[in-house]
Amino acid sequence: MKLIVAIVQDVDAGRVLDALMTEGYRTTKISSTGGFLVRGNTTILIGVQDEQVDPVLDVLRKHCEARREFVSPVLPLSEAASAHHWVQPMEVEVGGATVFVLDVERFEQV
């Protein structure tokens, strides 16, 4: 058995969860925050049999879109006060999905 941990953008989460549920997968949705952009994202836990990993990845690929986001670098107050130039916003590409596939040693529902 595997545990798939998928971090997706909030805007894609509803469609991904609907598609997974329609295809019969059980999911847990966790509200999370990316450490870099410090914006909300969604972490989805999906417990599956080994042979279901690739079909789940196909669903994630289908419903998660890569998007370009702008982030303004934050300077410490002391540096900001002495900065003589504007700090340019930085463009980053976020997603589709960041996925970890973990071996599950034991699964119980008690």
Amino acid making up residue 43: T
Q: Which of 7, 13, 46, 64 binds ligand 2BA (CB under 6 A)?
A: 7
- Contact code string over 24-43 relative to ligand 2BA, x by CB under 6 A: ----------xxxx---x--
Pick from 40, 30, 53: which is nearest to 100 by CA? Answer: 53
Q: Work out whether the CA dihedral 43, 49, 54, 55 comes out positive or negative.
A: negative
For residues 52 and 98, which CB has a smaller minimum distance to ligand 2BA in the complex?
98
Q: Which residues bind ligand 2BA (CB under 6 A)?
A: 7, 34-37, 41, 92-95, 98
